[in-house]
A and B are shown apart, each in its own frame.
Chain A
Amino acid sequence: MPKIYQYKLVLLGESAVGKSSLVLRFVKNSFSDHQESTIGVDKDTLKFEIWDTAGQERYNSLAPMYYRGAHAAVVDSFERAKKWVTELLRNASPNIVIALVGNKLDLATHRQVTLEEGQAYADEANLLFTEASARSGDGVSEAFIKIAKKLPKTEQQMASPRLAPDARRVDLNRSGAESYPTTNRCC
């Protein structure tokens, strides 16, 4: 029986590089504020909750609030990839799947990092690496499919129905001490 899994995916990168437009292409409809999108892998359905972050450097210090608990991260910037990857490995969930997505066609004429360099770094840091074009849509789905394949399909990721069928079980297992992020935690 096909299963539905749910993941939180955070977008990190510089503004104007096309971080948001990558998502625009991935999500069929026009870009609305907060995204949820699904992708089919084998027989299963993966639902992505996409958390966009502000790319301007002055807002980078706020990123931990967004990538907390994320299962996957898309970094859309070769230049700053190392910084983000280091930070994610240190602060994000231990098993986070990180994908480095370059804008192929858009940057073809003035790319500062070559395809080979990007691939080499991705291999070294154990990242997924794809090139995609937000403008043409080429490679965007592929990037997300790669991520989808690498994500763990555990029971924990099973999409819970909005109303737990057995709320009693849910109530008892909830860890009471853990609370939603407070601003104290940030940075």
Chain B
Amino acid sequence: MGNHAISFREVRKTYPDGTTAVDDLTLDVPEGSLTVFVGPSGCGKTTSLRMINRMVEPTAGTVEVNGQDVSTVPEAQLRRSMGYVMQASGLLPHRTVVENISTVPRLLGQSKRAARERAEELLETIGLDRGLGGRYPSQLSGGQQQRVGVARALAADPPVLLMDEPFSAVDPVVRADLQRELLDLKQRLNKTIVFVTHDMDEAVLLGDRVAVFARGGRLAQYASPEKILREPADQFVSDFVGRDRGFRALSFDTHDIPLSGVLTVDGQGHTAEVGGPAGVTDWVLEVNSAGQPVGWVTSTQSAEITDQAHRVGGSLHHPGGSLRSALDAALSSPSGLAVAVDDDGRLLGVLRPQDVLEAIDKVRESRQ
């Protein structure tokens, strides 16, 4: 880091009808970082992104990539030097998956064979079966299309990746997968990524740095996600981040929370205490033969467990995880006890809500 891969200098974009899309934007994107532009619709975040590859030309000011003013680089050449991923993937419908991924290398003059080999390699990088290479985009699911879109952007191995709301059109489960994979890719590939979204959760999850844009194209705050959640620069940022920001900010805190014991029962009806002596409660945690939690039952039911009897458990907490995950595990558990598991998903014990709150309190005190 240290170097700025992308710099906006007093950039302004006004349209002939007088609307201002971007108002005096000055911002540096550090090399190798994932920077998120977030804000409500019409805040200029996408316009700003598109000024990086000259899809939009600024009315005033300069945009520099690696110290070079982009307006001095021919458009097509500039765009081929950056990866671009858009909403709904934007794949060419008349080209197969492999041909789509090969697009930029082919435009750069690579041989068909070399581009194809690279494309097939990339299919694996992004977790798609090589057999999908001959399919057309309409034969893929939304999540697969989006993966191909990412592969296409990576094909020429560009140092900069521009992502324009890439995951907003897929369902939440697939989106979570794609987000995890992006973080993983970022670790492995060392790219400078600019990512546009209107979803604050996504911004906090992905961003090293988050730029919050306000309506009228004003940059309201540019800081680490933690700082934005804890110290919003103004009322707009505070409103945009939302009422849950206190809860979300717990994502950045960790603290040791003492484990408590819980009474467990397995499929054969054998009971045991895990994590220490069980407290006084009606709730018994059902575990499978591998010691992984299955769901909660009340002690009156435990004598004759049926599939229907147990209540689906809440989210699971891994010791060393954030206080947000601990509190959420407690709040979402039918028994009120947060279930703690190890990396293999085996039960370690439970966390009592009062212990979680105490940890939150201690962290807060230590910060003051």
A, B in one complex: no
B residues adjacent to A (C-beta < 8 A)? none
